[in-house]
A and B are shown apart, each in its own frame.
Chain A
Amino acid sequence: MKRISLDAILAQTDFIVMNTLGKALITLVILVSVLNGVFLPVTGFDPDATKGTEVFLGVIYTLMAALMLTGIADEVGTGQAMIYLVQPITKREYMAAWLLAGPALLGVSYIAAILIPALVLSPRLVTKPIIYEPVIYTLGELLYIALLTLFLSLLLRNKSRAVFAMLSFMFLIPALGLLILGILSSTLGLHISDEVLTVFTSIFHPAVVIFENDSMVRVFGLLYSYGGSAALVALLLKYSERIEV
């Protein structure tokens, strides 16, 4: 088992944040904070009503985060990663740096982008546990999609292909799936329950389970997003050993 150097991971994380993701990340946090600041008064600061806006902002944030993280496809595909990997940093540490600079930092900054406007505009809202519920669901989706993006980017080693794959996963495949389910239900006379539709959609957007009353579906959504994220972290760290540049 190789020893892990935290210094090397943090040095590479710093570099990714300062030079690759930094500006886009700051822009994204400001954009989502401002949008949240605009939406909050519209919802009348009702914790229940903020659910919809938080999920909407979560989808925007996740989409932008996914686009940013395809940057690793560029690094590995063009050979830029070689310039770092010839230094005393292992492939696993390099991957760990991307995990910290990507999903981890994006997750923390997402929570900040949601909670800071609420804290500024209506501090009372932040004390109510119900406001954290959508954050937990959307954070799960953000982490899951961000990690999946990293994995696909490493596999495809091409930014354009990685972007296409992620957009397909987030929008094209679920839309086609729902269309096929709709055609099946109308031509075969099958009744497809709302729960089934939600579970199907949650494969691509786990946060949608928040709108479902069935607690089993909600638990499924959380387990799928957080469990899937944990599995993807393990897979990425294992797969990183196979990176060749």
Chain B
Amino acid sequence: MIEFRNVVKTYGSGKRRVTALQGASFIVPSGALAGFLGPNGSGKTTSLKLMVGLLRRDSGEVSVKGLDPEREEREVKALTGFLPERPVYPLSVRVEDFLRHVARLRRVPWSDVRRIARLVGIDKYLDKPIKAMSRGYLQRLGLAQTLLSQPEILLLDEPTANLDPIARMEMLELIATLKRDLGATVIISSHILPELQLVIDYAVFIHRGVVIDYGRLDELSAKYGAVTIYEVKTSREPRRVAQQLIGLEHVKGVLIKDDNTLEVHVDSRASTEVHHVLDELVSEGLVLSYEAKSSYLDQLYRRAVETAG
């Protein structure tokens, strides 16, 4: 479990002092795949860096599996893998030499380096200098160094930033797979909420250095009553499909937009059940396709901010 209690962090001094975290308190339980969500400059990166002792807090308490990252720096770092948002690598160093160094610090055998390199798909780059890697592969290298000792906690700071759409989805799928295979606690910070809702099961909402709310996604959905909007393409008889959908318990409304398009408003907590029904309609040939048009994480975040005032 990771816990922050009234954590304050400021940068600079005097008139240039900037408060990055204003008494942040939250808990991320073990085994969660948590999203650390908020706009740029809200304090996400600061929080992640405090978790591994890269920054020193002004006041408050940080606990990572019962350890203080400032006092028990090496122990916490041994438990965690951290992927910085914009990692700066020694570009002229060969990928293999860099990973060997990380493996030595993490006391991991060379065979594990090869295995992780294969897992994240950078094995063909091992004998090349880091500068030969594209942005997407650099992100994979970051993930490789993060995963080397199979850490219990993965901290990923904007892991999809600067990646093209395909690479972003690949990265998220890779993270979900790793979480499933390693059973680690994963915290992903991101300001791009729609893509995160595909993988996370827990969220910490942060806004201007203040943690507004945190908890399991279904609990937060229930609390803030978020609605997901689907665009449904029908083959024929949109009214018949609309009637079937409006009868469902969690469908809040159906709008017939044109001869073959419906807009369906669904209670976000029940999106899985509605997916089943839509899938059945697809198999019956009544529905051609459907897609979520609004991110319910976006809505949850907005409502949490509004509620917090």
Point out residues on A near B: beta carbons under 8 Å. 2-3, 5, 7-8, 11-12, 14-15, 18-20, 78-80, 82-91, 93, 242, 244-245
Contact = CB atoms under 8 A, between A and B. Distances in A.
Contacts of A14: 101, 104
* Size class of the B contact interface (CB-based, 8 Å): 20 to 34
10 contacts: A5-B74, A7-B104, A15-B101, A79-B86, A82-B87, A83-B89, A83-B145, A86-B84, A87-B145, A88-B75
A79 B85 CA distance: 11
B77 A86 contact: yes
A128 B224 CA distance: 85
A19 B93 contact: yes
Interface in B74-117: 74-75, 77-78, 80-82, 84, 86-90, 92-93, 97, 101-102, 104-107
Contact of A11 (B78, B88, B101): B101
A209 B54 CA distance: 43
A87 B98 CA distance: 12
Contact of A83 (B72, B84, B104): B84
B127 interface: no
A242 B77 contact: no
Q: Which 8 A-B pairs have the closest CB atoms?
A: A86-B82, A87-B105, A88-B78, A80-B88, A11-B104, A88-B77, A79-B88, A90-B73
A89 B84 contact: no
Given A2-B71, A244-B56, A89 B77 contact: yes
Contacts of B74: 2-3, 5, 8, 88-90, 93
Interface string B213-233: 000000000000000000000
A83 B54 CA distance: 11
A15 B102 CA distance: 10
Nearest to B146: A86
A91 B78 CA distance: 14
Contacts of B49: 245
A89 B105 contact: yes
A12 to B, nearest CB: 7
Quick one: which of B77, B81, B107 has the most chain A CB within 10 A?
B77
B52 interface: yes
A86 B154 CA distance: 11
B55 interface: yes
Given A83-B84, A89-B77, A91-B73, A20 B54 contact: no
A84 B71 CA distance: 18
Contacts of B77: 85-89
Nearest to B86: A79
Contacts of B90: 19-20, 80
A74 to B, nearest CB: 9
Contacts of A244: 54-56
A12 B90 CA distance: 13
A8 B73 CA distance: 13
A95 to B, nearest CB: 13
Interface string B46-58: 0001001111100
Contacts of A83: 84, 87-89, 145
Contacts of B54: 82, 85-86, 244-245
Nearest to A93: B74
Contacts of A88: 74-75, 77-78, 105-107
Given A14-B104, A79-B84, A244-B56, 15 more contacts: A2-B71, A8-B74, A14-B101, A79-B86, A82-B84, A82-B88, A83-B145, A86-B84, A87-B77, A87-B106, A88-B74, A88-B78, A90-B74, A242-B56, A245-B54
Contact of B52 (A7, A20, A79, A86): A86
Contacts of B80: 86
A8 B105 contact: yes
Nearest to A4: B74
Interface string B290-301: 000000000000
A12 B78 CA distance: 16
